[in-house]
Each structure stands twice: as C-alpha cells, then as structure tokens.
Chains A and B, each alone.
Chain A
Amino acid sequence: MLVHDRLTRRSIQTVFLLVFLPLFALPLAVILAASLSTNWSGALPSGFTLEHYAAVLNGPTLDALRVSVVTAVIASVCALVAGTWAALSAHSLGPRGRRVMDALFMLPVAVPTVVVGLALLVAFSSPPVLLNGTQMIVFIAHTVLVTAFAYQSVSAALDRLDPVHAQVAASLGARPARTLFLVRLPLLLPSLSGAAGLCFALSMGELSATMMLYPPDWTPLPVRIFTATDRGALFTGSAFAVVLMATTLLVMFALSLVRTRAGHR
C-alpha cells in the first residue's frame, strides 16, 4: 500500500523478519527447547530429556502450580466483581466523579508493583489488622493489582456499549436492576470474559509484589521459577515456565470460547 516497488517491499519485509523473529519468536522457542534439554552451550541444545518435567510432578512444584492457580482464580473473581461494580457506578456519575473514580482505580497501575507489596506489608504487619505471613495478604495483593485492569476493561466496554438497549429495556418497564442483570451485563459478557482471562494471566505471572509478601506455605509458581534459576537451575526453571505458560494459555483459551459463544448469540 505504501511501497509499490517489489524489491523495496521485499527488503523491508526481510528486515522486519530479521528484527522480529530473534526478538519475539526466539525467546519463547528458547525456553521451550531448554526445558527439554540437559545442556546448551553451542548453537543447539543437546541431551533431550523429560526429567525437568518430571521435576514438576514432584511435590513442591506441583504445589506451587496449585497455589498459583488458586490465587489467580480468587484474585480474578474478586477483581471482576469489584472492577465491574466500580466501573458501572463510575459510569452513572457525572464526568467529574468519573474522573475521580478513574484516577483511584488506576492508581495501582501507576504505583510500582513492589511498592504495592511493601505497602500491604507495612500496613498489615501492625494492628488493627494483622495479615503478615498469611495467604490472605497474597490474595489481596493480587486482587489489588488486577482490579485496575478489570475496571479499565469494563469501563472501556461500557463506553462502547450502545445505551439504546438499556433505554429500550427501560421503555418496556424494566427497573434498573432488571436492566442491569438481563440486558447490560449479558451485553458486557464478551468483555468480561476477556477481562477474566487477562486477570488470570496477570495473576499467574505476578512476581514483584509476591516476592515481598508470600508466606513459606504459599509459594506461587513464579517464585519457584525464580528460586530455581537463582540457584543456577536454568533448565528446570524453563520447564516450570513452560508449565506456567501452558496453564495460562489453556485457561485463556477456555475463556475465549465462552467469549466467542457469548459474542455469537
């Protein structure tokens, strides 16, 4: 469209691939390949093995996966409820109230994640509320961090939502609650499931705040990956990472099916 000369187009595309593939395709391939190897010091990995994955199946790592999934599910559900509620109420406020709500709920995005972790640690290590060293504080941290996304996602969907459906429902005599549950929320369902997938993915990969907060009996998978690589077990770490990515993609794929079905209705 911009380039009409075939030679120029070819060379632009070649440069694109030369930049794009090493930068974006290679890292994923590398992790996958490394998770199946025992040794990698030349051009290609060597010593095909599945033993790193066997390590996943022994106690601590499987536990860590379970911890991550449980945490992510709890955080995503809480974030969706809180974010949707907040977005809906923000939309019924005037422009100024809306701006205040936006600022409040986007705050955890602007604040460094480590600081969010530190803040929870400082606040809940002393009375009146003592949560330090509990699983609860991990749930809270993850919820706080992903709620901002749920809020923003639902808010954007509300902006795009044509108010005419809700108006028709109201003209037919539906009260606001009925309109909300029978008209607006079903229309938002595709965005909600998209937001749920994203919240889940974010929580699964959360490391920064978790490093500040996790109690010994509640170690999520990213922390396991870090401890593995930190002591030099890069190949085992890669296998854990592949498990993490696969779980995330699987859940997001399932949620995207929900979304497709909701979208086709």
Chain B
Amino acid sequence: MGIRLDGVSVSYGGTTVLDSLDLTVEPGEFTALLGPSGSGKTTALRSVAGFVRPDSGRVFLGGRDVTDLPPYSRGIGMVVQSYALFPHMRVDQNVAFGLRAQGVPRREVRTRVGEALELTGMAEYARRHPRELSGGQQQRVAISRALAVRPQVLLLDEPLSALDARLRSEMTTELARLHRDLPDLTVLHVTHDQGEALTLADRVALLERARLREYDTPRNLYDRPRTAFAAGFVGSANLLPGRLDRGSVRFCGLDVDAPDALPSGVADGDDLRVCLRPHRLTLGPSEHTVRGRVTDLSWRGSTHRVTADVDGHSFTAEVPGTAEIPDLGTTVELGFTRRDLVVVPAGEEP
C-alpha cells in the first residue's frame, strides 16, 4: 500500500510548518523524511498517521483518501522515539494491544504476538515488563507491537534517536533486515540523522523550512545533489562560490570544464556553488590543484581532516589516517579531478 500526500499544508497559529507537500511513496518502499529540526518532517508523518489534520491537501493510503479518517481506522503501525510502551502491561500484552483493539480472535492473537516478537528476536522476553528491558529491547518490542497488526504502512518517528551510538547502529542493521524480510511493507521513517537515512532508505525526502527540497535515492542525493542545501546537509561538503562561464566553471582562481550533468536552471554566466566532498580531495597535486595554509587539523581514527584556507575560502580534505600530515600554518596542496566536481545553483545552504 503506497502513501500519497497531495499538496498537504499544515500551520499552527500562523506559522506554516508544512507547505503544500507532494510526496508519493511506492508500495514496499522505504522512504526517509530527512531534515533539520523544524523542517516539518514530523508533521508530515503525523498527518499520514492522522494526528494532524491538514489545513489543505489530501492524504492517500493505497489509493484511498484517508484525510478525514481517524488514526484508528487507517491501518498503520507506528513506532516513536520514546517507545511509548504501556508500562503497566507485559511485553506480550503490549504487542497484543492492537490485535485485541481490532477484535482479532483470542487464539490468533497469541500466535501473532509470538510471530511479531520472533521477528525482532524478543520472544524470550514476552513475560517481562517494559521497565525491565534496556532501551534497545524496548524499541524492539515497540516495533513488534507495530508489526503485529500487520500494517500496510509502518511509520517510524525518530525511532533510534533515544539510543546510544552502538545500539543505534545495531538497530539500523535490524531495521534494514526487517525491510528485506517484509518486502510488502511500506515504511516512512522520520530522522534528522543523514547516516540512518542513507543506510536504510530506498528514497530520501529532504525537507527544509516546511518545504520538500529534494526527493531522490540516497545515492543521487549524495553524488548529484541538485541544491546547495542538499549538498551541504547530506554528507559534508566544501561549498565554494563560482560561476558558469562559457562551458567552464570558475572558482577559487581555477577554471574547470563544466561537469557533463548540469542541474536544470543553471545558465551561462550564472552564479553557482561548487560542491567538493572532503574525501574526494587528496593531499598533493592532481588534475586540479589549489594551494592554501593549514588552519585546522583533526584526527578521527581512520581519517585525518585537514582544513586549509585557500584565498579566503575554507577547504576541508578527509585523508586516510596513514597519510603524511602537514603541520599547522604550513602551505599545503589539495588536488581533485573534474569528476569530483558537482555544481549546484547558488541558494540556501544549511
């Protein structure tokens, strides 16, 4: 069952929190709603769930207009950041809650609770109370509870952000596995963590200031962003002011042949932004080379980050931890090739 948002706008007391959002999620697709806080991503999810009534626009689930339906009639499953397990119920009672609310026969409830707990590896904890479980285990129970009702659509509202880093990566793997095991389940996942979005999602909807900025596969969003915002928000980027001039891009005193794929709307003579990913830069000369003074060094275990000042523009390069690292204040050469270059229209940056 797919999800379609058709011009959905939401405002609270004069502030527009979601501005005419159009979004289509294909059946079985895992879509991440990514954006900084206040970008409207949670509001979008809540309007799918039915907790927010759009001021205008319609919400469709599987082709059916559900805009006027209450949440309990929408056939969704939902997992939230705080888990929201019912503290007075055991794990199995939590998971059974939705089934009993929907009037599933008692015998069937038991088997489906078992299945749902099996799915997240929590079967052995069925008789425990939520407070006896760790955060990661509670989140697994919350996922089981949402899946037990066999929803066509699963809504995840920042489900991992209350977990510590190690558990978060464990649960990310877990969610990826669930998505593979349940190919018919459509998932809408709200997150502000680009890593989660890039790892899990088939497509990422990037929101910013109540609007949808880009909607694409993670790969395209990362490799070929079409806006300065996307370039800067998804992965780190050196964003440098430049200009398109007769088929070549001029920036920082360089003159590079324009990439083959130019974003639409960029015409000759336009100001634009050049996006260079730090890990694509190398120390030492290459096809194109800039020279600058080292202003900052930081070691990150497997990599070094070298920041240099090039004609007043800051360049950050991420080089292997094994590389020879220049001293602070010395002059360094940073190299890249034409293929490392992505050009985006000048515009809002994160």
Contact = CB atoms under 8 A, between A and B. Distances in A.
B70 interface: yes
B57 interface: no
Contacts of A231: none
5 contacts: A4-B50, A4-B70, A4-B71, A4-B72, A5-B70
A5 B72 CA distance: 12
Interface string B178-212: 00000000000000000000000000000000000
Contacts of A5: 70
Contacts of B70: 4-5
Nearest to B50: A4
Interface of A: 4-5
Interface string B157-191: 00000000000000000000000000000000000
Contacts of B50: 4
Nearest to A5: B70
A186 B114 CA distance: 55
3 closest A-B pairs by beta carbon, nearest first, are A4-B70, A5-B70, A4-B71
B12 to A, nearest CB: 15
Interface in B59-76: 70-72
Nearest to B72: A4
Nearest to B53: A4
Nearest to B51: A1
A5 B70 CA distance: 8
Contacts of B72: 4
Nearest to B73: A4
Interface string B323-348: 00000000000000000000000000
A5 B73 CA distance: 12
Contacts of B71: 4
Nearest to A4: B70
A99 B50 CA distance: 48
A5 B50 CA distance: 12
A4 B53 CA distance: 10
B65 to A, nearest CB: 16
Nearest to B69: A4
A213 to B, nearest CB: 47
A2 to B, nearest CB: 10
A4 B49 CA distance: 12
A153 B50 CA distance: 42
Interface in B31-84: 50, 70-72
A13 B129 CA distance: 36
A5 B71 CA distance: 11
A7 to B, nearest CB: 13
Interface in B80-127: none
B285 to A, nearest CB: 56
Nearest to A3: B70
A4 B70 CA distance: 6
Contacts of A4: 50, 70-72
A5 to B, nearest CB: 7
B66 to A, nearest CB: 12
B48 to A, nearest CB: 15
B4 to A, nearest CB: 21
A109 to B, nearest CB: 29
Nearest to A1: B51
A4 B51 CA distance: 9
A5 B69 CA distance: 9
A238 to B, nearest CB: 42
A4 B66 CA distance: 13
A188 B239 CA distance: 52
B247 to A, nearest CB: 58
A94 B71 CA distance: 50
B262 to A, nearest CB: 49
A135 B50 CA distance: 65
A216 to B, nearest CB: 57
A196 to B, nearest CB: 36
